[in-house]
Amino acid sequence: MNNNKYLKYLLPVAYLIPLLFVQVVFVPFISIETIIPDLILILVVHTAVKHGQIPGTLFGFGAGLIFDLVTGNMLASSALAKTLAGFTAGYFSTNRIDINLGSYRFIFIIVLAAFINSSTFALVTNFDLNNNFLKLIFEQGITPALYTGFVSAIWVFTIPKKQGDWLK
């Protein structure tokens, strides 16, 4: 019983590794200018909604840190952004996870979390008082969030769901 409990928390970690490769090797091919969807964020949000706020926050931090290490970003910049995104997404974790995971609500949560993720990252890495913050947030916060939301919409509406699976 206990093993199963830990196993369910390890499952997102197992998904994370191949997703990291997909994110850095294949996702750039679908970039629009420099905007790409953030698949790792989708996994972080899914974990937060499914398992709760604390696992989501911790997973966001870990996933972001690994991402920073392998891509040469400023260390912990993605970790901070994904921690906040995971924490925010955790507010949508309820016992009835089918409501949030299998519907358009999931897309809304993704867009919200992606906006927090992208804006935080942009503010941390590009902090300059000479910058126009509204423009920065619009260009680097909203547009990647919408693209990530669009990709999550494909996932939500194309993966067939067995009735009642989420209710178990």
Partner 1 sequence: MNQFFIALLRSFKAYLILIALVIASFMLMSISEHESTQRLRSLALSTFSQVSGIFGYVNFISDMRSENEKLRRRNAELMLENNQLREFGLENRELRDMLAFEDTSSYDLIAAEVIAKSFLADQINFTINRGAADSVKPGMPVISQTGLVGIVYTTSDKYSIVRTYKNVNLKLIVKLLNSGTPGILKWNGTELVMQGIPKTLQIQKGERIVTSEVSSLIGINIPVGEVARILNPESGLFNDLLLTPLADLNSTDNIFVMRMIQSKKVDNYELNYLNTK
DSSP string, 59-102: HHHHHHHHHHHHHTPPTTHHHHHHHHHHHHHHTT--S-HHHHHS
Q: Which two tokens stand for residue 120?
A: 């935080």
Q: In the complex, what is the shortest distance from the CB of residue 11 to partner 1, in angstroms, rounded to a whole number? A: 20
Q: Where are the alpha helices (DSSP H) in 95-159?
A: 97-101, 104-125, 133-137, 143-158
Q: Is 131 in the site for partner 1 (CB under 8 A)?
A: yes
- Rama region for 33: left / alpha / beta (φ>0; ψ in -120 to 50; rest): left
Check binding of 141 to partner 1 (CB under 8 A): yes
Task: Tell me how far, at minimum, the Cβ of 59 lies from partner 1, in Å.
Answer: 11
**Counting contacts by CB under 8 A, is residue 75 touching partner 1?**
yes
How far apart (Å, rounded) are the C-alpha atoms in residues 128 and 72?
21
Should residue 25 be labelled a site residue for partner 1 when binding is judged by CB under 8 A?
A: yes
Residues 82-101 that bind partner 1 (CB under 8 A): 83-84, 87, 90
Residue 80 engages partner 1 in binding (rule: CB under 8 A): yes
Residue 47 makes contact with partner 1 by CB under 8 A: no
- Among 1, 3, 10, 72, the residue binding partner 1 under the rule CB under 8 A is 72
Establish if 27 lies at the interface with partner 1 (CB under 8 A): yes
The single-letter code of the amino acid at 99 is I
Q: Which of 43, 63, 116, 122 binds partner 1 (CB under 8 A)?
A: 122
Q: Which one of residues 26, 104, 150, 157 is an interface residue with partner 1 (CB under 8 A)? A: 26
Residues 78 and 62: their CA atoms lie apart, in Å, by: 10
Of residues 142, 127, 110, 116, the one with CA closest to residue 39: 110
Contacts with partner 1 by CB under 8 A lie at 20-21, 24-28, 31, 33-36, 53-54, 57-58, 61, 65-66, 69-80, 83-84, 87, 90, 118, 121-122, 124-126, 128, 131, 135-136, 139-141, 144
